[in-house]
Amino acid sequence: MRTIAKLAAAALATTMIAGPVAAQDGVKVGVMVTLSGPPAVLGEQARNGFELAVEQLGGQLGGIPTEVVVVDDELKPDVAATKARELVERDGANFVVGPIFSNIMMAIAKPVTDAGAFLVSPNAGTSTFAGEGCNPNLFVASYQNDQVHEVLGKYAQDKGFARVFLMAPNYQAGKDALAGFKHSYKGEVVGEVFVPLGQLDFSAELAQIAAYQPDAIYTFMPGGMGVNLVKQYRQAGLENIPFLSAFTVDETTLPAQQDAAVGFFGGANWAPDLDNEASKAFVKAYEEKFGAVPGTYAMQAYDAAQLIDSAIKHADGDVSNSDAIREGLRAADITSLRGDFKFGPNNYPIQDFYLVKVAKRDDGKFETQIEEKIFDDYADNYADQCKMAK
């Protein structure tokens, strides 16, 4: 566990807030992300994006002193559930920002929200909480998992790819990924494979792709899984088959994939070259501070901090006023880095989505760049199932 407390009283001074935080004295935020193993790069981006926002807000959220406690969920649901309880019950966290992976969200949503704290997800957006299981204390600052995958499904449909091979990890987000793709794609699925979460050798699956010779493949392989798959795909000489993906070629994996990923497609709600002033300033500040190109994980965590900041301001700094905090979160009175942003009735975003393509910049760094907008002000397919009391 790593504790960071940044107070705005003086630029060079840092003060720790000891013990549980009283509502009138400050706010405590637990950031629970994956910081172990190959997927750690995803959690690091989210942590960095959130901390950058807090720093730029002078170490305060909602104008009050803020303590940020960073916790590694270790990508273990049982460990995450225990640490989530400790954050809210022992440490007095008012908000928990996290997680990255949907299986961790399934483990921590109940202990966090049952304790009266707010869970603000900077990435995981499982369908489980988007419909009938929606929760008034759960807000997703990213997307509903299916949506990014629907981008590539629609693109494949529009391009006339008649035969597509699908592949994803065997957990909830992987199942949501392929369901999302098929929601928009009506052609033939010649193969559909779920691999163990964490698999790094794709020789068997690549042999199947070579045998099927589909018009395109679509895959969701986050973190180190995506790094290995992209490299092995190139090595297998399959680049003549269009590579469509989500969370497989992005700013967390590109530093390792490099040239192997150039020209591969993804779907996203944002990219570092998005043309708006807030986004440009964020990318510049992130690269200067961390020496890396930010991805959606960092952007969404930055927006999560903005959401909490706006909610506390809505409650006039009283973090014990849960109704006012909830109203403030739902209002989403922020300048989102992605542009258009508002919450639907299930506390999941309504936003734009893009087809992005991997490019190598003039400075030698790699990033995804927007090719075209696929969906405008797009709400998820589960929102009308949410009957949450307002």
pLDDT at 2: 42
Does one domain contain both 289 and 345? yes
Does one domain contain both 161 and 123? no
Residue 177 to residue 38: CA distance in whole angstroms: 20
pLDDT at 389: 59
Does one domain contain both 110 and 55? yes
95's tokens? 């908000």
Nearest one of 341, 340, 310 to 327, comparing CA atoms: 310
Residues 6+ apart with CB under 8 A from 17: 5, 25, 26, 28, 65, 67
Does one domain contain both 114 and 203? no
| Residue 368 domain flag | no
Query: Which of 268, 297, 331 is where one domain is finished?
Result: 268
Does one domain contain both 180 and 211? yes
pLDDT at 297: 96
18's tokens? 């000891």
| Residue 319 domain flag | yes
Query: Which of 268, 292, 324 is where one domain is finished?
Result: 268
Nearest one of 254, 255, 69, 271 to 151, comparing CA atoms: 271
Task: Supply the Cα-derived Rg of the chain in whole angstroms.
Answer: 20
| Residue 382 domain flag | no
Question: What pairs with residue 96 in β-bridges?
Answer: 30, 119
Does one domain contain both 221 and 117? no
| Residue 377 domain flag | no
pLDDT at 390: 54
Does one domain contain both 173 and 193? yes
Q: pLDDT, tens digit, for every residue of 9-49?
A: 323 222 233 333 334 479 999 999 999 987 898 999 999 99
pTM over 0.85: yes
Residue 291 CA to chain centroid, in angstroms? Answer: 20
Domain containing 44 equals 2-143+274-351
Domain count of the chain? 2
Could you give the dihedral angle defined by the CA atoms of residues 297, 303, 304 and 307, in that order, rounded to the nearest 10 degrees? -170
Does one domain contain both 301 and 172? no
Does one domain contain both 150 and 238? yes
Three-state SS at 254: helix
Question: Is residue 381 exposed (0-12), middle (13-18) or buried (19+ Cβ within 10 Å)?
Answer: middle
CA angle 65, 292, 42 (to 5 degrees): 70
pLDDT at 25: 74
pLDDT at 15: 29
Q: What is the pLDDT along the chain (390 residues), one digit of tens a residue?
A: 444 443 333 232 222 333 333 344 799 999 999 999 878 989 999 999 999 999 999 999 999 999 999 999 999 999 999 999 999 999 999 999 999 998 999 999 999 999 999 999 999 998 899 999 999 999 999 999 889 999 999 999 999 999 999 999 998 788 888 988 999 999 999 999 999 988 999 999 999 999 999 999 999 998 889 999 999 999 999 999 999 999 899 999 999 999 999 999 999 999 999 999 999 999 999 999 999 999 999 999 999 999 999 999 999 999 999 999 999 999 999 999 999 999 999 999 999 999 999 999 999 999 999 999 999 999 999 999 999 855
- DSSP per residue over 304-362, as a string? HHHHHHHHHHHTTT-TT-HHHHHHHHHHT-S--TTS-EEE-TTS-EEEEEEEEEEEE-T
Does one domain contain both 29 and 118? yes
Query: Which of 233, 268, 303 is where one domain is finished?
Result: 268
Does one domain contain both 13 and 126? yes
CATH number of the domain to which 48 belongs? 3.40.50.2300
Does one domain contain both 116 and 22? yes
| Residue 361 domain flag | no
Give per-residue burial for 339-355: e unless 16+ CB within 10 Å, then b: eebebbbbbbbbbbbbb
Position of tokens 């309504």?
350
| Residue 385 domain flag | no
| Residue 32 domain flag | yes
pLDDT at 23: 40
Q: pLDDT, tens digit, for every residue of 308-350?
A: 999 999 999 999 999 999 999 999 999 999 999 999 999 999 9
